[in-house]
Each structure stands twice: as structure tokens, then as C-alpha cells.
Structure 1
């Protein structure tokens, strides 16, 4: 049970004595194997010393966190004390608690434990309790979030006149979204899982030479067997096999990450839970949310999908993905609910004109010309055929032109009520909606080429999200007018000086 305010110090769950030694053994397994191999090659003279240390060491160090970690909840603070020789006490005022996140790996879940992370709105300043019993973790989360919400006493009210604590009405959680397994159709169109495949290929390439089935003779015989078939058939089989592997990886990853996904609004926060093997419970305080970002990757846009993230202060990295790949209408609906305003994610944006289009094209083509020049030098140096440079250069220029046109079409801006809206992205279309109250400054920058044609980059600085929202290649006078309209009075002195 969690301690009541004012009680003494409490330990973590005794089941942590099973958790940490297993984790410590898992982390020490490679050094132990290396040590045992070294012992076997040296005749085993030191085995009677190293083996007990290798086994008992992880068990001892795994048990120390439970023996040395205590926590308590006072009327005003949550306090955590840990350490053996160097004592460390972490405290967080209850009125500064901004998030209480729960996480449970597969081992945690087997033991009925949860990892609790308490955020105070300051980056990297989080209090961690690993591990509490699942019921205690949920009770602690509810207690901390409700105490954060507790209203102050009404002025003029004598506390002695109130018999017992004043009851605080608790609003029922409002469901914003839950997993719909028809959304699995978007999994293959999200390329985030390509990182896993790239990692697997990298590992295989590192150890492939050591595999007993892989040698020069095997490779040559395999190649001769493949070349017995038509080249078109080989390519088709490889394409179908690759597609099948990708479908399995993407769908499996989607299920593992977003299993039992649920997004609710409760205690003045957005609360997200998901996960099959490792369960996550993430809390984002709505008072700290300054905007949202909707991303539509190229392939997902073809099938009408999108992703949604919140932009908040006091959150690790500032960006929290609150929806899995899902239908665009769902992302818009949840985004407008979070913003409590309709329009920022759907209203048309102000176009930036032909000069911005020309810059978008030239930006991509310039990079392609550098690649083509490098290819030409390599072709001349190694005396290769120039046909490859010509065909490759032409294809690269066509792709660059398409990317440049796409990046221009994604450009745009708008001022939707009290939200600054900016469109951006190369192949992926990104729309960012930021509360004007969250803007703390403006940066107007012009390159030499931009000055010649009267364009500028306008950056709204903020403490939320990526800490900046960029409106690229907009006319200078439009940029100044947009900044002044979004934050009246902030540019008064600047406008007076330039008048």
C-alpha cells in the first residue's frame, strides 16, 4: 500500500528482490561467458574464485536497490531516498507534479509490478520508483494527479469550520480514442519499422562470415542455382519475399506497440496506455500542451492515414505521439479536441507564391547536381561508361523536381483564432498548430538570395515541442504582419524602428 500523507518511509515491493537480480544477471551474462571461456583456456586455475563472484555478484547488486530505496508522501511533497554510502534524496512538490507515467516490461508484468516515473515539468528531472506493486502504482498515480487538481480553500472560509476534508468532485475519464484493428491496414505504409530491418541486416553482416553455412563455395553454388531461372522470375520472387517479410515485421510491430491502445482525458491530463509485452502508461498535462503536430507520410497519405503528436513543455523531447497510424479523420478529430478549437488542422493555408516554389525546386535540384558531379568525377577516374551517369542523373533530377514541387505544396501558413498554423515537409506533409500564448519570441532570417527576391524565414520560438515552428520562404512584409497579428504588442518597438 502507498503511504498516507505524513506516514513514515516505505520500501518498494519485496518482489523487486526477484526483478533486479534477474536483470543484473541478464546484463552480466556476456562478461560471465567471456570469463568462463578464459578460465577454460587457462586450465581452470581461478575458476573456484571467479565463478562464485560471477554468480553471486549480480544477485547482491540486484538486491541493493530494494534495501537502500525508500519513499514517502507528505502533505506537500513526494520524497525518494536511495544510496548506501552516498545518500541521495529526491523531492517533488505535489503542486509541481505534471505527469505520472507507468511502464511494465514483460518481467514486471509476470511479477505484478510497475515502474513509476514522476515528472515535474522540468526536462530530465523525473523521480523514478522501480518497482511498485501494480495496484500501489495505480493508486499512487491517482493520488498524485488528484492532489495536483485539488482547489485552494475559498477566501474567507475558516478551515476549522469544515468538518473533515472538503470533497472534490472527480470527473469521469473522457475517452478520446481506442485501438481499432481495422487500422492495421496502415502499418505497412509506415516506414518506421525499417530501422528494425536495417539493424537485423547489420547484425547479419557482422556475423555472416562466421556462419558455417556461408563460404565461397556455398555462395558460388547458390548463385549458379539461381541463374538457372529467368532473371524476371528471380526478381519477382525476391520482391514478393521482401514484401511478405515487410508485412510481417510492420504488422507485428504495430500490434506489439499499440496493443490495447486507449487515450482518455482525466485529471486535467491526456492519459495514454498501450503495449503488448511492455505496457506504457503516459500522462501529458493539458495545461502544458501548446499545440499538436499532424504528420502524413507519403505512402500513408495515399491510403488516407496520418499520425498525431502533442507539443508540450516539461515533457521529454517535447513531442509525444498520442495516436498510432490511423485514419486522417480520426487524427483531425482528436487533434481538434486537444486544441479545443476547430479549423487549424483542416482550414486551407495561405500559399507562399511562385518565388517560394522556385526556391523549393532549386533547393532540391542543387543537391542533386552535387551528387551528379561526384558521379561524373568517379566515372572519369575509373573510366566507366557515361551512360550510367546520364541515365542516373536524369532520374535524379526528375525525382528532385518532384520532391521540390511536393515540398512547395506542403508550404503554407495561417492564423486560426489563437493558433499559428504552419505547413512543412518534403515527402511527408506536416501541419503544426501552436497556441499563440506559447510563442515567446520571433526570429526573421534572410539569406543573400532571399533578400534579393524579398522572402524570409519566420521562426516562432517556444518552450514546447521542437522549440521552434518554421514558416519558410514567406514574403518579408507578410512575415512581419503574421508575427504582429499572432502576438500583438511583441513587435511594437521593432515596427516603430523600421517605420
Structure 2
């Protein structure tokens, strides 16, 4: 019997009482900047309001931080997980247990100090996630295990064994124990050598430089006299030596940032297959525990970034339905052989990540070149307009044009070499990428439709873009610049019968 919804105490539970320490600290952290600014402004104008304002700025975060614990309750029934929250606007979130697709655990540094974890329950819809922000560590682990093992309990029972015809007793049916967890990958600190070749954290470094540049003019040590003196001191040395020092300093800074970021993100990394799911844990300060149901994994994506490819590294992600963004990176930058091994284990089939792809021919080759040459022309036109408006030396325009053409040639050749497709038993394989080499593998059972599109130029040379639509990942897998007849034949072989009504009779 499912208990009827009622007040707390009728099957309902609160979050951990330690949330009373967590939320006030978070509220104070969020309010500290505007509060300090307000207090500084008041102190410079009139101090008569201090006896009234100081209690407010201290007590208010504590009160508002305590409200979530006082107003949030949850319970697990026979068929649902239910969460009630809110003060004035009451909200009740429910999720059927048979629709639970993922149970992710996360713990910031403050969570870990207090022995808490945040639980996020996914139901197959990106925006429909039930969050319990502060459960005790044991309760969070128990809830996750209960929700994931329910899928095993819902599997069809084995057929009963009938007694033998001679009346002999039937052998006892021994239930099959669930498979033990299988470790697919764990952190190997020799992989740190790949960290400097991943440019994912270059954005953070650029942001830090931008912040310094934004506020650099306000620093007391930076003024015209200081800048002139510094430049005069620098020019006393050889320009080549100064450039070398700057290059070495920048490289050293990048090494520190990239390696530190790698350690913080992937500390304690483990990828385990258990309860029919892929379970990933990692993180130094904020720990993450991400679960992806294998039944919802429709493929993988292997990415070889340009610099990482030079040292034999790669990254691996899964394409799944019912998870946030659809793409989950399940391996840190690591040796390509490791990424391929884990990818084949997830696909449960060797070959799609290693076998050669079908080339798209000379027409696709020329189109790859012309696409990049068009970008070079755009850059040259922009440089010409700037030369016309600003009246600087035309040699700069010529240099920009030559550099753009050279880069376009390299990019065009690389994009064609990465281009290709294959149909490997039950997987569609698509190669793409310009500087980074990307191989996307999608289960043909996960394809829900096809789109064949042609631009004006593609129609003139008989090429088309073939798009497999799916509910997983980015919801589309593109096979670019393939012959029209090859595209239709590929779609028909991947999903027999789906295009029968659209194919012309032989």
C-alpha cells in the first residue's frame, strides 16, 4: 500500500540537520560582496544606522539559509520519489521509480567537511531533475543504490522449471546473483603528460588575463611614468632574450594551470560498470559521482585534439538519452589506446573506433579545400577594409592574406583526411573535424530518422549532407559531403525498411 501524501512524519523525511550549517554559509558567501559595498558606503556617509543594519546583515543570511531545511521534505514510496519544498509557493516534485535514469552525487568542499552529498535524480528529461541538496553520506549512497537496483528487481523473472515426466522432483532454481562491479578505468598519474596539450583550460587563463587587463589601469603601480621606465629597462637587453624569457614564463604558467586543473578535476577518477550503469567518480575539492544507464547509451565520441594527437592522447565521451546535454565525458585526456579500449567496452563491440573509414572522393576533397579558402578570403577582405580605413602599410594586408591562405590549405587537407563514414554491423560511424579529429559512433537502433540536405554548390557536384537524427548526444550525427546515391544506400542499410517508401524502384 502506497502511503498517502501527508504532513512530515507520515513517511516524510527531512534533509540532514547539518544543512543548517551549510546553507547559512552559502548565503553569507553569496551576499558578502553587496553587503560589504553597502556597509562601506554607509560608513562613509552616516554611522547612525549601524546598530540597525549590522544585525540585519548578520541575521538575514542565517534565517534565509535555514528556510530550505525547514521547508524541504522527501520520501520514497513503492512507486515514486517525492520532494516537497517552498514557503509561500509550495512545490511537490515527483518521479516514477521506473523512470529514474541516473542518480548523480556531488559534494563541494563544504559538503565534504560536513559529511554531506547533493543527490540529483534524472528521469530522462534534461530539465526534470529532482535535487536533494544535503543528505548524509550514508543516506545518499543508500538512496542511490536503492534507485539503481530497482531496475534489476523489475527484470522479468525466469520461467519456472517444470517437473520431469517421471515424477522426479524438479531441480531447485538458484537465482542468478547480480554481476559484480567491473572497473573500466582509473586515474593513472602518468596521464598528466597530456594536460598541457589540452586547451580546454586556455579559456580560464584568457579570462584571468582579461580581468588583470580590465583593472590594470587602476593599480597604483601602473602609470605612464612606470610604464616608460619599465620599457626603457627592458630595451637595455636584447629583444630576442626578452622574447625568450616571456615565452618561457608563459609556458611555465600554462604548465602550472593545466596540470593543476587536471589534478583538481580528475583526482580519484574511477569508471565502473555496475547495476547496468556506468558510474564515474572524480574531483579533488568538489567530488562528482555521475551515473549513466547503459541501456540509454547509444554511442560514443572519440576526440583527438590537434596538440594531443601529437603525443598520442585522446578523449572519450558517451552519447546517451535522458542525461544533461546528452554528452558525458567519461575519460580524462589519456592515451588513445586506453580511450579506444574503454570505448569498445562501452559499445560491447570491437572495431568501430579503429577500422578505416570510407573516403568521400575527390569532389569532397575539393569542397573541403574551397570551404577553408572561403574563410581565408573573408579574413583577407577584413584586413583590406581595415587597411583602407586606418591607412597602415599594405605589407600587413599581404602578410595576413598569405598566412590565411597557408592555414586554409592546412585546415582543408586536415578536414578531408578526417572525413569519412562506415557502417559496422550495428553502428554508424562518422568521421569529422578540422583541427581536432572526431569519430562518432552511433547505434543504428538509436536512429529515429534521416535528413538529406544539399546546398546549391553541393547539388552542382552531386554531394549531400546526410544527418542521422537521434535522441542521444547532440541529437544528430552528420556525414558531410557524401555522394547522394551513397548517402541513400547508407541510410537504407543502417535502418532497413525505414526508407523503403522513398526509394525509387529498380
Q: TM-score range by the shorter chain?
A: over 0.9
1:64-213 residue pairs with structure 2 within 5 A? 64-151=67-154, 154=157, 169-213=177-221
Does residue 350 (structure 1) correspond to residue 358 (structure 2)? The answer is yes
State which of 48, 51, 57 in structure 2 corresponds to 1:48: 51
1:93-492 residue pairs with structure 2 within 5 A? 93-151=96-154, 154=157, 169-492=177-500
Q: Distance in 2 between matches of 1:380 and 1:27?
A: 49
Judging changes above 3 Å, is the alpha-carbon distance between structure 1 residues 91 and 341 closer, same or farther for their aligned structure 2 residues?
Answer: same
Q: Counterpart of 1:323 in 2: which secondary structure?
A: coil
Contact 1:298 1:429 in 2 (8 A): yes
TM-score normalised by L of structure 2: 0.94
Q: Distance in 2 between matches of 1:292 and 1:101?
A: 20
**Deviations, residues 105-140 of structure 1 (Å, cap 9, x unaligned):** 000000110000000111110000010011111111
Contact 2:263 2:284 in 1 (8 A): yes
* Displacement after TM superposition at 1:71 (Å): 0.8
C-alpha RMSD over aligned residues: 1.6
- List gaps (5 residues or longer) in structure 2: 4-8, 161-173
Q: Which moved more, 1:406-415 or 1:81-90?
A: 81-90
Q: Distance in 1 between matches of 2:393 and 2:224?
A: 29
* Displacement after TM superposition at 1:170 (Å): 2.8
* Displacement after TM superposition at 1:51 (Å): 1.7
Contact 1:7 1:74 in 2 (8 A): no
Q: Determine the structure 2 residue equivalent to 1:163.
A: none
Does residue 12 (structure 1) correspond to residue 20 (structure 2)? The answer is no
Q: Which moved more, 1:206-215 or 1:421-430?
A: 206-215
Q: Distance in 2 between matches of 1:156 and 1:150?
A: 15
Aligned length: 486
- List gaps (5 residues or longer) in structure 1: 158-165
Q: Distance in 2 between matches of 1:113 and 1:75?
A: 26
Contact 1:39 1:45 in 2 (8 A): no
Contact 1:360 1:408 in 2 (8 A): yes
**Deviations, residues 366-406 of structure 1 (Å, cap 9, x unaligned):** 11111112212222333221112112211110111000000
Q: Distance in 1 between matches of 2:250 and 2:110?
A: 33
Contact 1:99 1:118 in 2 (8 A): yes
* Displacement after TM superposition at 1:46 (Å): 2.0
Contact 1:306 1:325 in 2 (8 A): yes
Q: Distance in 1 between matches of 2:156 and 2:361?
A: 56
Judging changes above 3 Å, is the alpha-carbon distance between structure 1 residues 54 and 258 closer, same or farther for their aligned structure 2 residues?
Answer: same
State which of 21, 29, 37 in structure 1 corresponds to 2:40: 37
Q: Distance in 2 between matches of 1:77 and 1:378?
A: 63
Q: Determine the structure 2 residue equivalent to 1:161.
A: none
Q: Which moved more, 1:142-151 or 1:97-106?
A: 142-151
